[in-house]
Homo-oligomer: A and B are copies of this chain.
């Protein structure tokens, strides 16, 4: 069988510059969920803005037979588009990885590229057993995550003042500034108990924190957002409302920021950030101790 992917790569400068935008199929293949290799590959592909990538993920490829099926798919896409697919893979089992390597595409196997230098550095052989990642099977981690998710769900949007002493962090901000997704992400990913409280017009007029938060002020953090982005977000939910009006968004954001400054609540602008970025910033700036790795 031809193994084109193991042929020496041609240096970029010796290739003709493409005049049409390139299209490439990309496969993410994993013996587990594929989430890590997908995240890795996607972050690398953002470096090639002029190429159009068409993505396919094939998780749980843990036998030679399944590997052969995926390879057939990869090779077919090769014939269709006329360009070699990219194959990001993460396969622990040697026989399965050997099979994937035969694909008629550029195979970039994460396991292969990192495990050899790690073995050398640590002076031990790796187990080469398909392991558990994502806290799977680890009952303690699972319990921490579930406990944090339950806590966060029952302390969303200021629904209760009870058990706030258990919170690791309490987020405040105007409605739709990103509190709920940030809290859920922190609970899910880090096992952090994250409560959130909206800053409602009464709080803004009185220029004070919701009174039930005062005993917990040391763990209150704020989110802010650009008024025009807030206007866009609110408009989708309640078009033509005073709530969504740009003027009102401007007022609320400005009053909330004033309140947070005066009460010494540090806050972060969520406007151009992803949920992951906001959650990571909060984790590190508030020096929270994560319960799950």
- Chain A residues in the interface with B (C-beta under 8 A): 9-12, 15-18, 22, 24, 32-36, 38-40, 42-44, 46-51, 55, 57, 59-60, 84, 86, 90, 92, 106, 108, 110-111, 113-115, 117-129, 131-137, 139, 142-143, 145-146, 149-150, 153, 156, 180-181, 184-185, 188-189, 232-233, 236, 272-277, 280-281, 284, 293
Contact = CB atoms under 8 A, between A and B. Distances in A.
A86 B118 contact: yes
A120 B50 contact: no
A124 B18 contact: yes
9 contacts: A47-B128, A51-B122, A57-B284, A60-B284, A84-B121, A86-B118, A108-B118, A136-B272, A143-B233
Contacts of A90: 43
Contacts of A10: 120, 123
Contacts of A84: 121
A186 B149 CA distance: 14
Given A114-B108, A134-B274, A188-B275, A124 B181 contact: no
Given A35-B276, A143-B233, 8 more contacts: A22-B123, A33-B277, A33-B280, A39-B133, A47-B115, A84-B121, A136-B277, A143-B236
B106 A121 contact: yes
A185 B181 CA distance: 11
Contacts of A121: 9, 84, 86, 106
Nearest to A143: B236
Given A59-B280, A153-B156, A110 B40 contact: yes
A146 B225 CA distance: 15
B127 A48 contact: yes
Contacts of A124: 12, 17-18, 22, 48, 50-51
